[in-house]
Amino acid sequence: MYVIDNNSLDCTPRLFDNETAVTLVETGKNLGFGAAHNVAIKKGVGKYHFIINPDIAVGTDILSDMADFMEENPDVVLAMPNILNSDGSVQFLPKKIPTLKYVFLGRMSEKVRDEYVMKNELSGKTEEIDFCSGCFMCIKGDVFEKLGGFDERYFMYMEDVDLTLRAKKYGKTVIVPEFSVRHLWKRESAKNLKMFFMHIISIIKFFIRKRELV
Local confidence pLDDT in tens for the 214 residues of the chain: 678 888 888 887 788 888 888 788 888 888 888 998 898 888 777 899 999 888 899 878 999 999 999 999 999 999 999 999 989 999 999 999 999 999 999 989 999 999 999 999 999 999 999 999 999 999 999 999 999 999 999 998 999 999 999 999 999 999 999 999 999 876 554 557 788 888 899 999 999 988 888 7
Say how far apart CA 28 and CA 163 lie, in whole Å: 25
Say how far apart CA 195 and CA 28 lie, in whole Å: 21
What is the reported pTM?
0.88
Question: Is the alpha carbon torsion for 8, 61, 65, 184 positive or negative?
Answer: negative
pLDDT of residue 191: 59
pLDDT of residue 42: 82
CATH of the domain at 153: 3.90.550.60
Q: Which domain holds residue 111?
A: 47-213
Instruction: Encode 137-165: b = buried (16+ Cβ within 10 Å), e = exposed.
Output: bbbbeebbeebebbbbbbbbbbbbbbbbb
Tell me, yes or no, whether 40 lies in a domain. no
pLDDT of residue 7: 84
Tell me, yes or no, whether 12 lies in a domain. no
Q: Per the structure, how many domains does the chain have?
A: 1
Secondary-structure percent of the chain, ordered helix, strand, coil, rounded to 5: 35, 20, 40
pLDDT of residue 65: 96
pLDDT of residue 126: 97
Pairing of strands 23-26, 2-5: parallel
SS3 8: coil
* Cβ atoms 95, 76 nearer than 8 A: no
pLDDT of residue 8: 84
pLDDT of residue 60: 80
Tell me, yes or no, whether 90 lies in a domain. yes
Tell me, yes or no, whether 6 lies in a domain. no
Pairing of strands 172-183, 127-128: antiparallel
Amino acid 142 reads: D
Tell me, yes or no, whether 169 lies in a domain. yes
Phi, psi of 19 (to 5 degrees): -95, 100
Say how far apart CA 160 and CA 209 lie, in whole Å: 14
H helices of the chain, in order, are: 33-43, 62-72, 100, 110-116, 141-146, 159-167, 188-191, 193-213
